[in-house]
Amino acid sequence: MGTLAPFEAVPALRGAKIDADGQLRGPVGPLHPAPGGGGTQDLPRPIVGDFSSEASMPETKLRVGFIGIGAMGTPMSHNILKAGFPLTVYDRIPARTADLAKRGVAVASTCAETARKSDVVITMIGQVAEELEAVLGTGGVLEGAHPGLTLIDTSTVGIVASRKMASAAQERGVAFLDSTVSGSVGPAKEGTLCFMVGGDPVALDGVRPVLRAMGDRIYHVGPNGAGSAMKVIVNLMIGMTVLTVAETLTLGRQAGLDPRQMLEILGETAVNSPHLRNKGKMMIEGRFETAFALKYMQKDFDLIMEAAHETKTPLFASAIAHQVYTAA
């Protein structure tokens, strides 16, 4: 199989925007008329099927397993439970599953056990090596796989790891979807994540109700690896934007400009964006509470440079940003 250039995976995403929470939002191609007329709506028309109404839900709800009950996995799993899906959870740190256990959720002892008890297994794991171990390792998901199982990886692991898991899953007769997410903890709690899915569209159709419990937008962006490619692109844009805003405000301050006025003026120009407004405001106010841990941005830039290498794509500015985040 030849390499998959990230941009080739997402031809339908022209004009997409990244909002203050780091979420990908439409329009996709032309904006669609807003309900009731008068202007346009920001949310894109669903690409795959109709998400609305209970008619799209199977009569017998899928049994869902969720692996990785961390900052993102906790609200995502709670929303799955709220939607009425039978749920089994696993985390390598047992204390993280305690609250769900109190709610009557089954807690598995291994990833393999989670797979045996589920029709759909979702993983949300922070580091690439841990994700690969959870899926491919001893006691992993594929060890407990059975015919008809669908594995949905919502982690950020990059194109190479996604394809590796997809190949191993196929050998076991398991459908694999790299279903990366745009959006942080806030949208995860609200159930408004955006899913960027690579894999078989038929497999996606089968699990759409599960994804719909956690998000309000689902893009099918191509074959396995394409979901991870799109995530790399989104995080590249976010990471570069944060650095640009920081350096812009620092230079202006050193030149004697008023930071608040500078931010106001920049907001009236073509470079205005949610990240400029929100992150810029936090910077000039000296508020640096963590919304996305630095170690994950470092990991994401590792994956960005990996993608550049795999696709033989020179990324000069990104390579410098990679060094900045690594040094930080």
In the beta sheet, which residues pair with residue 153? 123, 178
- Give the pLDDT confidence of 214-231 residue by residue, as tens digits: 999 999 999 999 999 999
Q: CB-based contacts of 38: which residues, under 8 Å, 6+ apart?
A: none
- Residue 274: what pLDDT? 87
Same domain (yes/no): 80, 210 = yes
Among the ranges given (15-24, 80-89, 267-276), the one the predictor scored with the smallest mean pLDDT: 15-24
Residue type, 48: V
Same domain (yes/no): 161, 235 = no
Q: Domain limits at 22?
A: 6-225
Same domain (yes/no): 244, 211 = no
Same domain (yes/no): 30, 96 = yes
Taking 70 as the threshold, does the pLDDT of residue 171 lie above it? yes
In the beta sheet, which residues pair with residue 151? 121, 176
Residue 1 lies in a domain: no
Same domain (yes/no): 205, 243 = no
Split into its structural domains, the chain has a count of 2
CB count in 10 Å sphere of residue 43: 16
Same domain (yes/no): 204, 237 = no
Q: Which of 158, 192, 225 is the last residue of a domain?
A: 225
Higher pLDDT, 24 or 70: 70
Higher pLDDT, 47 or 308: 308
Contact 279, 242 (CB under 8 A): yes
Whole-angstrom distance, CA of residue 319 vs CA of residue 314:
9
Q: Which of 225, 254, 282 is the last residue of a domain?
A: 225
Same domain (yes/no): 84, 204 = yes
- Residue 289: what pLDDT? 80
Same domain (yes/no): 126, 272 = no
Same domain (yes/no): 93, 74 = yes
Contact 158, 308 (CB under 8 A): no
Same domain (yes/no): 217, 253 = no
Average pLDDT over residues 262-275: 93
231 a catalytic residue: yes
Q: Which of 225, 253, 285 is the last residue of a domain?
A: 225
- Give the pLDDT confidence of 111-168 residue by residue, as tens digits: 999 999 999 999 999 999 999 999 999 999 999 999 999 999 999 999 999 999 999 9
Model confidence, pTM: 0.80
Whole-angstrom distance, CA of residue 56 vs CA of residue 59:
9
- Residue 234 — pLDDT band, cuts 50, 70, 90? very high
In the set 231, 281, 299, 312, the catalytic residue is 231
Same domain (yes/no): 41, 169 = yes
Residue 102 token pair:
């109190």
Same domain (yes/no): 216, 244 = no
